[in-house]
Structure 1
Amino acid sequence: MAESYAESEIEVKDEESSGCESPKLGRKAMDEISDQELTGVPLQSAWTFWLDKAVRGTSAAEYEATLKKIYTVNTVQGFWSVYNNIPDPCLLNARYSYHLMRDERRPVWEDEENSQGGNWRLKCNKADTSQVWKELLLAAIGEQLSDNMAKGDQVTGVSVCVRDRDDILQVWNDRADLEKGSTVLPKIQSLVPTVKFSAAFYKPFVMHDAFEGTKKKAGSRH
């Protein structure tokens, strides 16, 4: 899976002037994904892959300009087709992030669908990032965290944010006010028992200094 950019069916170009260009799945990959979506085993809900590049000091609007949709999958096989045709997180440059969000919601704190929620944030050694990311993806599409959520809450997305040192993994939820009724962190640890996280905590989106409110529909700053 640790393929180079040249071998991957996705193109990710890094330009300082524009953040990141839209990821472009090659024709072969698009045909493969489309075929799998037609005949694959349906997921309980659709999930959308996103890519962004966060740069310190940029405004929310500037961040949001870097947010690019990769593909929305509806089947198990469609998920694997996308996963196998995009570069592993270990091949991304620092400040890039992948997100897998429920349905077609964007990984944006202030959007109406997200503004009442927050996320669990885990810092992990780069050597463990790919493993943790894969397990979180599978937990999300397989609804493995459902029993660990408080009644009335749900997982709405997972993210991997590549940094210069430790990377950041995130699990998004709908309701920050229900966080204390969850057992998400112990569940994640059970999925990757050999991984040691240097930090693991929850933070509501409204508690971030950069949060700009639902009306502005601005982008998240990781």
Structure 2
Amino acid sequence: MSSNTNATTLPASARPVTNARNSNGSWRASSSQNLNNNALSEEMTYFSTSDDSLDPDRQKKLEESIKTSNPHPLANKWTFYLFKKVIDPFSNTNRLEEYEENLKRVATVSTVQNFWAVYNNIIGPNELSVRCALHFMKSDIHPAWEDPRNENGGAWSFRVSKANTAIVWRELLMMLIGEQFEDCVSKDDDIYGLTVSSRYNSDIFNIWNKNSSVNEEAKIMEKIKEALGPIDLQSPYYKAHKDHAMFHKVDTPTSATVNGKGY
């Protein structure tokens, strides 16, 4: 479990400028977030909303607005990643190599200001192409089963309608940076990250954890249902990473696995 035991409270100056609350009491993001108080990590990159490509003008605009003022640190650092799947039917690249080639590190955030700056300016989950994904991982944990810290872990998974994808993504991100899942797992476990994957008729969410052997003790889905209220969480289940068919098949050519299910 994380060594940081105190949940992060979002200060008023770091919340969205509307200061509006959802019906469940959580803070609602605003597209009009003031960028003047945002500090971004040096590796920050931005993606246009049209084709997932880099947008230099957008990046320049945000970099010019970096003005750190009374930053409010998060309990843990978190990193955004974008996975953009490019399928080459003639490729002999193995599954892990193909995954790494298509995975882009977007930004690491360590303050509330960092978080809102990144959240409000990167591509949203509703803009993802089918079979592309956004990841939000604790510290420097890589969003891959092969990361040694993930080998004994797993994930809670569920689907939501595309109409609800954006709000579920936002609410779960806020719960993570606020350490709201800390009391929902055993002392031998920890929450490592969040993934949203685009599919045709609905989208898939995954909550990564450290220790799959104690997942039955966790109250993660109960916490999520309580926070999201009436939103329908479809087909929820838990699965250890090692139980996925492709877990031990790192050397399998990607051309043979492009239709496989994954995060």
Distance 1:55 1:186 in 2: 36
Q: Which residue of 2 aligns with 1:100?
A: 136
- Per the TM alignment, residue 196 of structure 1 is displaced from its structure 2 partner at its CA by 0.8
TM-score w.r.t. the length of structure 2 is 0.71
Could you say what secondary structure the match of 1:26 adopts?
helix
Q: Determine helix, strand or coil for the equivalent of 1:180.
A: helix
Separation in structure 1 between the aligned mates of residue 233 and residue 55 of structure 2, nearest angstrom: 30
How has the CA–CA distance of structure 1 residues 209 and 83 changed in structure 2, closer, same or farther, with 3 Å as cutoff?
same
> Which residue of the partner structure matches residue 187 of structure 1?
223
Aligned-residue offset at 1:21: 5.8
Q: Distance in 2 between matches of 1:64 and 1:189?
A: 33
SS of equivalent to 1:113? coil
| Partner AA of 1:119 in structure 2 | A
The match for 1:151 is 187
Pair 1:43-2:74 in alignment: yes
Counterpart code for 2:104:
K
**Structure 1 residue 89 displacement after superposition:** 1.1
Tell me which residue corresponds to 1:6: none
**Residue in 1 aligned with 2:233?**
197
Residue of structure 2 in register with 1:52 after alignment: 83
Answer yes or no: is the 8 Å Cα contact 1:110–1:212 preserved in 2.
no
- C-alpha distance 23-44 of structure 1, shift in aligned 2 (>3 A): farther
Is the 8 Å Cα contact of residues 21 and 66 (structure 1) preserved in structure 2?
no
d(CA) in 1 for partners of 2:55 and 2:190?
Answer: 28
Q: How does 1:1-222 map to 2 (within 5 A)?
A: 10-11=47-48, 26-32=59-65, 34-36=66-68, 39-54=70-85, 59-212=95-248, 221-222=262-263
Residue 194 of structure 1 and its aligned partner are, at CA, apart by 1.1
Structure 2's unaligned 5+ residue stretches are 1-29, 33-45, 251-260
Q: 1:196 to 1:13 in 2, by over 3 A?
A: closer
Give 3-state SS (helix, strand or coil) of 1:203's partner: strand
Counterpart secondary structure, 2:121: coil
- The more displaced of 47-56 and 108-117 is 47-56
> Aligned letter for 2:262?
R
Paired with 2:162 and 2:100, the residues of 1 have a C-alpha distance of 26
Report how many aligned residue pairs link the two structures.
Answer: 208
Contact 1:2 1:91 in 2 (8 A): no
Q: With structure 1 as the length reference, what TM-score do the two structures score?
A: 0.83
In 2, distance between residues paired with 1:152 and 1:30? 40
Query: In structure 1, what residue type is equivalent to 2:74?
Result: L
- Identity across aligned pairs (percent)? 33
Measured after TM superposition, the shift of residue 165 of structure 1 is: 1.3
Point out the more displaced range, 109-118 or 43-52. 109-118
1:85 is aligned with what amino acid? N
Q: Which has the larger radius of gyration?
A: 2
Query: 3-state DSSP class of the match of 1:189?
Result: helix
Rounded to whole Å, the distance in 1 between the matches of 2:104 and 2:123 is 15
Residue 115 of structure 1 deviates from its aligned partner by: 1.0
